[in-house]
Amino acid sequence: MAGDPALPIADPRKSRQLNPVSALPPRPLLKICGLRDPDQAADVARLGADAIGVIAVATSPRYLPAEQRPQLFEAVHRAAHDCLGVLVVADPVTNQLGELDACHGHQVIQLHGQESPAQCQQLRRSTGCAVWKALRIRVPQDLERASAYTDAVDAVLLDAWVADQLGGTGHRVPLEWLESWNAPMPWWLAGGISPEGARGVLNRVSPTGLDASSSVEISPGEKDLERVKKLLQALQ
């Protein structure tokens, strides 16, 4: 596993996610991102999602205020003990750092800003959480940035570059760029992961996990449970 070996890992699913070679799941892992309602988040966890993402970026239409996040993560934990809670942030400022601590119910911090490897490593040590770094890929050469984070994060998440948007766009990195890429660590693929197209993606690339949001939504933050179920079935 990339990163500090002294970092405690309390959740058994986290150990599987960050050490995929030692205990491969029967399918790629699946994260459903952008949940806002505790009951619906619990339903998604019961369906079999491996991780639930909550957006802490205030400009996002899927933003969930800090005071509402612990209730959602607790609902997920009760519904499926091994489903990871992922808090999605971008360039957290000093007065936001308290929200990132693991005591608020999440096990992973997913960083979508300009965070350096050193900043990622510091957050991992100070919060008690695993850290995933999102990289917005605009050209094939951007994939080379992942190697700089090998010792600083537990996984990278690849998303397509879209001007003025940090994620949740439905756009995907061209698969031909990824087919010959040698990932230096566990990695997630986001953007346009749908029930109809997931198998085609996995026929060409082998990410540790897939991240879906807009493709399984009725509206921003409201998921279509039937589409989530179909996506999980497509990954079997």
Report whether pLDDT(18) > 60.
Answer: no
The pTM is what?
0.86
Q: How many C-beta neighbours within 10 Å does residue 97 have?
A: 13
Only one residue has tokens 């570059």, namely 161
Per domain, the residue ranges of the chain are 28-137+145-235
164 — pLDDT class (breaks 50, 70, 90): low
> How many percent of the chain have pLDDT more than 70?
84
Instruction: Kindly report the average pLDDT of the chain as a whole number.
Output: 87
168 and 213 in contact (C-beta within 8 Å)? yes
pLDDT of residue 211: 96
> How many percent of the chain have pLDDT more than 90?
77
- 37's CB contacts (< 8 A; 6+ apart) are 72, 221, 222
The more confidently predicted of residues 23 and 5 is: 23
Highest mean pLDDT among 26-30, 33-37, 58-62: 33-37
How far apart are the C-alpha atoms of 61 and 73, rounded to whole Å?
Answer: 19
94 — pLDDT class (breaks 50, 70, 90): confident
Only one residue has tokens 């909550």, namely 54
pLDDT tens, position by position, 96-125: 899 999 999 999 999 999 999 999 999 999
170 — pLDDT class (breaks 50, 70, 90): low
Q: Give the three-class secondary structure for 214.
A: helix
Residue 13 phi/psi, 5° resolution?
A: -70, -35
Pick the CATH number of 28-137+145-235 from 3.30.565.10, 1.10.3720.10, 3.20.20.70, 3.40.50.880: 3.20.20.70
pLDDT tens, position by position, 183-207: 999 999 998 899 999 999 999 999 9
Report whether pLDDT(10) > 70.
Answer: no
Lowest mean pLDDT among 58-62, 168-172, 209-213: 168-172
